[in-house]
Amino acid sequence: MPQFASYPSLTGRPVVISGGALGIGESLVRNFAAQGAKVGFVDIAAEAGETLADELAAAGATVRFIRCDVTDTQAYKAAIDGFAAAHGDALALVNNAAHDQRHDWDEVTPGYWDDRMAVNLKHAFFAIQAVAPGMARAGKGSIINFGSISWMIMSPKIPVYETAKAATHGLTRAMARELGKSGIRVNTLAPGWVMTQRQLTHWVDADAERLIDEAQALAGRVQPDDCARMALFLASDDSAMISAQQFIVDGGWANG
């Protein structure tokens, strides 16, 4: 069986994760909880979020869930404040929430554009705004923005999503400069085609399997835990001098 790293610096560290109830987010919550972090997570999937939090709490983890739509900026800020009251100011923020809804470019309306930017980009900025003062007081912190290889490999049918995900690394670079002197690191984690239940249900068919086999340098499939393990490293003190960078977890597909 493979053996994976343990990060002592994550023990007791307050962590906020968006979109934590399902998919990659669920793996993030489980992995940070297993490291002994104090995990606060939000999602619109209330039942899944509550079930996950109850399971981990019953096993002795410090986990708190708040049902929240991250596109509601005030509600999300209130949730982050609630986590801070329960666990202490966040010293790691994982901006994971996103939605890769398929769409045709010539049918995009201004309202749809704004909605997709809200769910895929805007919330990350305002979450950073909410946690940065506490990190600055502590003199340290790690912010991890989830990007995507979709814009690098020019995936079809998701142009607004790809625009938001390309902009995510711009946000990373900008905020790494803004916050670095306060001891706050900001990095992008860009997954490849990750085998979440959503992907398996909607899009991973025989043609997709052939594409992945041809495109990835590595055999096998990228799993949610592969992304979570990179996030653990970036949130830990082991990555203390790493900021403004993009880390691609895609089995060797994109040229980022």
Could you tell me which residues are beta bridge partners of residue 189? 146, 247
Q: Count CA atoms closer than 13 A to 149's CA, side-chain side.
A: 20
Interval 169-214: pLDDT, tens: 999 999 999 999 999 999 999 999 999 999 999 989 999 999 999 9
- 67's CB contacts (< 8 A; 6+ apart) are 42, 43, 44, 46, 49, 50
pTM over 0.85: yes
Query: What letter would DSSP give residue 118?
Result: I
Residue 31: pLDDT band with limits 50, 70, 90: very high
Q: Which domains does the chain have, with CATH numbers?
A: 9-249 (3.40.50.720)
Query: How far is the C-alpha of 220 from the C-alpha of 231, rounded, in Å?
Result: 20
Burial label for 35, CB within 10 Å (0-12, 13-18, 19+), is buried
Query: How far is the C-alpha of 38 from the C-alpha of 34, rounded, in Å?
Result: 10
Interval 88-114: pLDDT, tens: 999 999 999 999 999 999 999 999 999
Query: How far is the C-alpha of 70 from the C-alpha of 81, rounded, in Å?
Result: 14
112 is catalytic: no
Of 7, 76, 112, 161, the active-site residue reads 161
In the structure encoding, which two tokens stand for residue 42, read together?
A: 């939000």
The SS3 call for residue 73 is helix
